[in-house]
């Protein structure tokens, strides 16, 4: 299949990712869980039928995560600009997914994969809605940055606005299943039930057990003391812009 699948993600450093997981998690725990989510997502995407797999990254990915992917630096600007820039990297149908839905599976993408394997696809675009009003996947059979540039991101209407933009361009749009982004620990618990037995689910189970065993902090606050479950991921901080070049 002449399909490019791109994962847009960033380096999982304490204090820079999943800050809404703290509390109850520590910044190091939150970063470790984000890394587990990212690695699991990349494992899923790596196994999908595509001519190209891209990792569009802010920072320095682990070697294991980069394996099997072309690594590109994220463009500058807001998320809409960074998503629009990915369109220029594809030479055919493009599917973009994020790193916040570790429960992602091939079955959830089956409608898109089946449609775009046809000589005359039914849908020119596919959208994966997120339960918070955003979206976790965007598929464009003919990628064009205009289809996403200018859509306001990170609002309760982002998904609806993106869908309206696609319809406004005259595209038939297929809808993928609604998934829940992992932003808060309750989201992590819910996502883990959708992917039992996976590294992410096991990590969430271990964190939940550790939290349950810790004494409560002052005035019923977050648990006090104790070492984080797992340590921070390795890797350096991106200190300045770098050109988008293949690894």
Quote the pLDDT of residue 129: 97
State whether residue 238 is helix, strand or coil. coil
Quote the pLDDT of residue 89: 97
Residue spans of the domains in the chain: they are 4-12+22-211
State whether residue 6 is helix, strand or coil. strand
Q: Name the fold adopted by 4-12+22-211.
A: Spore Coat Polysaccharide Biosynthesis Protein SpsA; Chain A (3.90.550)
Mean pLDDT by 10 residues, the chain (247 residues): 95 96 97 98 97 97 97 96 97 97 97 96 98 97 97 96 98 98 97 98 97 70 39 28 36
Quote the pLDDT of residue 92: 96
Which residues, listed in sequence order, are joined to residue 10 by a DSSP beta bridge? 58
Quote the pLDDT of residue 1: 74
Q: Cα separation of 85 and 77, whole Å?
A: 10
Whole-prediction pTM value? 0.86
Quote the pLDDT of residue 127: 98
Quote the pLDDT of residue 216: 65
Quote the pLDDT of residue 239: 24
Do 75 and 81 meet the contact criterion of CB atoms below 8 Å apart? yes
Q: Cα separation of 38 and 102, whole Å?
A: 7
Do 54 and 86 meet the contact criterion of CB atoms below 8 Å apart? yes
């Amino acid at each position: 299949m002449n399909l490019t699948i791109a994962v847009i993600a960033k380096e999982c450093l304490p204090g820079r990712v999943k800050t809404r997981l703290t509390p109850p998690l520590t910044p190091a725990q939150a970063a470790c869980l984000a890394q587990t989510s990212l690695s699991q997502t990349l494992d899923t995407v790596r196994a999908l039928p595509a001519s190209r797999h891209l990792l569009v990254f802010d920072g320095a990915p682990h070697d294991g995560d980069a394996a099997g992917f072309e690594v590109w630096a994220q463009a500058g600007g807001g998320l809409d600009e960074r998503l629009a820039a990915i369109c220029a990297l594809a030479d055919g149908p493009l599917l973009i997914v994020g790193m916040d839905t570790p429960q992602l599976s091939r079955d959830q993408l089956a409608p898109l994969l089946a449609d775009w394997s046809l000589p005359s696809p039914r849908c020119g675009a596919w959208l994966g809605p997120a339960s918070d009003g955003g979206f976790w996947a965007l598929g464009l059979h003919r990628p064009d940055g205009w289809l996403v540039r200018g859509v306001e991101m990170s609002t309760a209407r982002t998904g609806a606005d993106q869908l309206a933009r696609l319809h406004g361009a005259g595209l038939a749009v297929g809808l993928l299943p609604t998934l829940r982004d992992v932003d808060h620990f309750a989201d992590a618990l819910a996502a883990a039930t959708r992917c039992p037995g996976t590294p992410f689910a096991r990590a969430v189970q271990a964190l939940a057990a550790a939290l349950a065993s810790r004494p409560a902090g002052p005035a019923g606050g977050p648990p006090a003391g104790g070492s984080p479950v797992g340590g921070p991921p390795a890797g350096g901080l991106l200190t300045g812009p770098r050109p988008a070049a293949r690894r």
